[in-house]
Structure 1
Amino acid sequence: MTTLDQPAARPPSADAPPGDSPQRASRPRRRDMGLLWFLIPGIVVLLLFQYIPLLGNVIAFQDYQPYIGIMHSRWSGLQNFDVIFNGDQGFLHALVNTLELTLIQVIFVFPAPVLLALALNSLVSDRVKKWVQNVLYLPHFLSWVVVVALFQQMLGNDGMLNLFLRAHEMGSWNIIGNPDLFKGLLTSQVIWKDTGWGTILFLAALSRVDNDLYEAAAMDGASRLRQTWHVTLPALRGLVILLLILRLGDALSVGFEQILLQQGGVGLDQSEVLDTYVYNNGLIGGQWGVSAAVGLVKGIVGVVLVLGANKIAHLFGEEGVYQS
């Protein structure tokens, strides 16, 4: 029974939006459940190979012996961390080399994909752009064994460069085995191998920039350089900050396989980093607890750097990796 002030309720119309019906609102969720099942294999892989192995960090607090296992190894407390807190010379040397390589790669390696993406984006012909992209992507799919072998064939003592110099009586130039050039060699190898692949995200971000912004800037008299500065770079700022934060998480990891393959030619003074220090003292030297302690501290430092950089990004108005 209704009154004049309160009209009778009408039944839901067939033209009502899906949000008006609880049954219809639940349909997308049921539909997405099928997609969520595909996440299960990835979650299982993460659990088995990423999270469960974290429990092995307990050996950082033990005098771990592989032949008696974790359950029976003697507890040593913080004794394994003395190599860090008391300044073991081998550890300090590896730490200094790691920080130097990290700084070099942040300065030279990280901006390389951005600059290459800007250069590719300026190409007029899409056909040429796709061909150049395919060529630049190829080195990423080569293993470090192949990359190091290629550089040795080109720059080694008996490589193409020195054969050319000797053929023209110009002496030789020792690059591969020169400790003073080792860090520069590592950086050039990383740039050659991964810069092309790193442009994918930046080119995707550039493709979303509205062309009307460039036309408006050109009508205002902005040159190509000023269009890049005021239109292109602001479009990449969020992505650059995000990738830089993620890069800080691996700041103390500077290429284990790449360095280990070339360590014998230059010696430990210039090539020993934290990852190779853990390998040489853990698997080779048998100091399992000390190596685990170094690896644990390195992981904690990476987490702190990511959290700190993400907080700074929020202060400057960027989203960062996650919202707090």
Structure 2
Amino acid sequence: MQDSAVQTAQAYVPKPSSSELKKRIWKNKLLYIMIAPGLIYFVLFKYLPMYGLIISFQDYKPFKGITGSEWVGFKHFERLFTEPDFINILLNTLILFGMNLIFFFPIPIILALMLNEVRISYLKRTIQTIIYIPHFMSWVIIVSISFVMLTMDGGLINELLVYFGFNEVNFLLSLEWFRPVYILQVIWREAGWGTIIYLAAIAAVDLQLYEAARIDGAGRFRQIWHITLPAIRSVVVLLLILKIGDVLELGFEHVYLLLNTMNRGVAEIIDTYVFTAGLRQQQFSYSAAIGAFKSIVGLILIAAANRLAKKMGEEGIY
């Protein structure tokens, strides 16, 4: 009865007139000015390029343009799902995403919990600075450092293996070592930076909860388990939903720098395949069809993950 009364009251809330709306906008003009650059960016680089997806249904020729190219319908999508190499490429992409989700995603949470327990402020700031630095290095630098360490020609890791009596390992050309090397590089570069959001969420936890827990005899681990983790659960779920939406979006640059003829069987992913088909082989329509497929899959997974989160009692992203 009370819920129906609230809904009825909300239904009769008068809408602001155009003059009132203009006054509200003018009153908050600084906020809209701050939002404007972000909106312009998304319009120019996210929404307007969607018009180019039309070429995935055409046999696109650059000299004819979008309006002059022949319409072929779902021809490129049919080729996509019948291409012998595509299943292997899709499987490689999903395996790397699964490794990201299992091995990388929990690490920023664990690091944030550990940093929150450091009571000496200057030590905490020093550790944060050290683990943030790799994020500001490009993938070229990260992969180059890894190459120097892992190469068989005087690499530090292989020198240590030989010193302790083991055989040298060709990490850079090995099918078995590509995925471990990839995920270790991701952890090295992004784990520290990923702690920022979780530390902000932890800082918002009411300190009185910890005081009450200490009075009841709870140690640090019990405080983390019963107070900190439940408090940041909504943030974890939100970031997990966004992560699931990037299931086919692993990033081109990192994998391309590790890719070579010896490890291509496990290293070729959708992003590098689009580069090869679209730019090197100039199959623009086919690569656009792959991009459309990635976007649709990501949208479906985000919607499904968001709905599941709401059923579990979380807020979700919309």
The question of a shared fold, defined as TM-score above 0.5 by the shorter chain, is answered with: yes
1:223-242 to 2 correspondence within 5 Å?
223-242=219-238
Q: Deviations over 1:13-37 (max 9, x none)?
A: xxxxxxxxxx999976533113313
Q: Structure 2: which amino acid aligns with 1:230?
A: H
Q: Structure 2: which amino acid aligns with 1:151?
A: S
Mapped to 2, the partners of 1:157 and 1:278 lie a distance apart of 31
1:46-65 to 2 correspondence within 5 Å?
46-65=42-61
Report the equivalent of 1:200: 196
Report the equivalent of 1:33: 29
Q: Secondary structure at the match of 1:37?
A: helix
Highest CA radius of gyration, 1 or 2?
Answer: 1
Q: Which of 246, 250, 266 matches 2:246?
A: 250
Of Structure 1 and Structure 2, the greater helix share is in: 2
Mapped to 2, the partners of 1:230 and 1:311 lie a distance apart of 26
Q: Deviations over 1:264-313 (max 9, x none)?
A: 16432111111111111111122221111111011001011111111111
Q: Deviations over 1:213-235 (max 9, x none)?
A: 12212222323222111101001
Q: Structure 1: which 5+ runs fail to align? A: 1-22
Q: Deviations over 1:107-155 (max 9, x none)?
A: 0111110000011111111111011001110000000001000000111
- Report how far residue 186 of structure 1 moved: 0.6
Q: Secondary structure at the match of 2:129?
A: helix
Q: Deviations over 1:55-84 (max 9, x none)?
A: 101111011122322121111111001123
Retained in 1: the 8 A contact 2:149–2:157? Answer: yes
Mapped to 1, the partners of 2:296 and 2:243 lie a distance apart of 15
Q: Deviations over 1:151-208 (max 9, x none)?
A: 0011122222223445676542221221111111110000000000000010011111
Q: Which of 183, 193, 196 matches 1:187?
A: 183
Q: Secondary structure at the match of 1:157?
A: coil
Q: Secondary structure at the match of 2:67?
A: coil
Mapped to 1, the partners of 2:266 and 2:167 lie a distance apart of 25
Q: Structure 2: which amino acid aligns with 1:295?
A: G
Runs of 4+ in 1 over 6 A off after TM superposition: 23-28
1:75-94 to 2 correspondence within 5 Å?
75-85=71-81, 87-94=82-89
**Is 1:116 aligned to residue 133 of structure 2?**
no
Q: Secondary structure at the match of 2:63?
A: coil
Retained in 2: the 8 A contact 1:156–1:174? Answer: yes
Q: Structure 2: which 5+ runs fail to align? A: 1-18
Report the equivalent of 1:221: 217
Mapped to 1, the partners of 2:148 and 2:95 lie a distance apart of 27
> Residues 215 and 34 (structure 1 numbering): CA distance in 2 closer, same or farther, change over 3 Å?
closer
Q: Which of 144, 156, 168 matches 1:172?
A: 168
Q: Structure 2: which amino acid aligns with 1:83?
A: R
Q: Which of 87, 96, 103 matches 2:98?
A: 103
**Is 1:152 aligned to residue 147 of structure 2?**
yes
Q: CA RMSD in A?
A: 2.1
TM-score by length of 2: 0.88
Mapped to 1, the partners of 2:102 and 2:185 lie a distance apart of 15
Report the equivalent of 2:207: 211
> Residues 277 and 318 (structure 1 numbering): CA distance in 2 closer, same or farther, change over 3 Å?
same
**Is 1:140 aligned to residue 132 of structure 2?**
no
Q: Structure 2: which amino acid aligns with 1:52?
A: L
**Is 1:131 aligned to residue 136 of structure 2?**
no
Mapped to 2, the partners of 1:229 and 1:63 lie a distance apart of 57
TM-score by length of 1: 0.87
> Residues 129 and 76 (structure 1 numbering): CA distance in 2 closer, same or farther, change over 3 Å?
same
Matched residues, number = 299
Q: Secondary structure at the match of 1:264?
A: coil
